[in-house]
Amino acid sequence: MGLSHNTAPVDVRESHAFPAHKMGEALIALRDYGAVKEALMLQTCGRLEIYAELEDYEEGVSQIRQFLGNFRHGGVEDMDSYMYTLLGSQAIDHLFRVSTGLDSMLIGEAEILAQVKDAFIQGQRAQSLGKTLHALFREAINAGKSARTQTDIGGQSVSIATAAVNFAIAHVGDLRGTSVVVVGAGKMGSLVARRLKAEGCREIRVLNRADMHDIVPAVANADIVVTSTGAQTFVLTMENVAAPLPNPPNSQ
């Protein structure tokens, strides 16, 4: 069961994301439901998916929904129109598409295989895996490795970070000598900063959560702004982007 960039807008995905530091706790809670024999959770910026081996389909799906509501202390009714449920070979095919980068927002996205591996490790640590999911994810990880070594899917080293830099190059041109602000000091923000440095940017400023009060003056002095945060609301708005501009755009 899950939702992804294919079925849900970013605000819905973000509102149902599990904090990374609570993933182990969540898996321990999930494995204790009677109809759930094994379980693993895969969460990325583009998806939240629960892979499970169930004693009974109807009861198991009901208990997973109950888990989502109980663990997050809130209803999941708004997820109904965004979630998908895949059974048997459909679920297997889907996982292989995910691990090989075929179901990513950017085909061949470089980070997805590492995220599948991390989900597998989290499941092992929480002891929520049994023989079925252990074997399934080992094969999916192997398939992801083969796809990257035996095909050209990873030839462009595609990632969200790469896409952001390429977008900047396409619209600005040569990035040498430019000033950049990266909002967000997490993994993706760090990748963007490294790529921009390699492109010769003159100045790169990274704002973390504690620096958000400086966002308006920082934007005012930047040629390029890239955001990558886990915030539940918009970090950049029309107001704080337009404020430092000499001729701010209207609401259109």
Maximum distance among all alpha carbons in the chain? Answer: 64
- Reference 175, options 197, 201, 195, 194; nearest CA is 201
- Reference 38, options 147, 146, 120; nearest CA is 120
Q: How far apart are CA 210 and CA 34, in angstroms?
A: 43
- In eight-state DSSP terms, residue 55 is S
Q: How far apart are CA 7 and CA 3, in angstroms?
A: 6
Q: Three-state SS for 184?
A: coil
Is position 45 annotated as part of the catalytic site? yes
Contact indicator for 7, 83 with CB cutoff of 8 Å = yes
Instruction: Tokens for 142, please give them.
Output: 């192997």
Catalytic annotation, pick one of 45, 158, 165, 204: 45
- Which helix (H) or strand (E) segment holds residue 159: the answer is none
Active site residues: 45
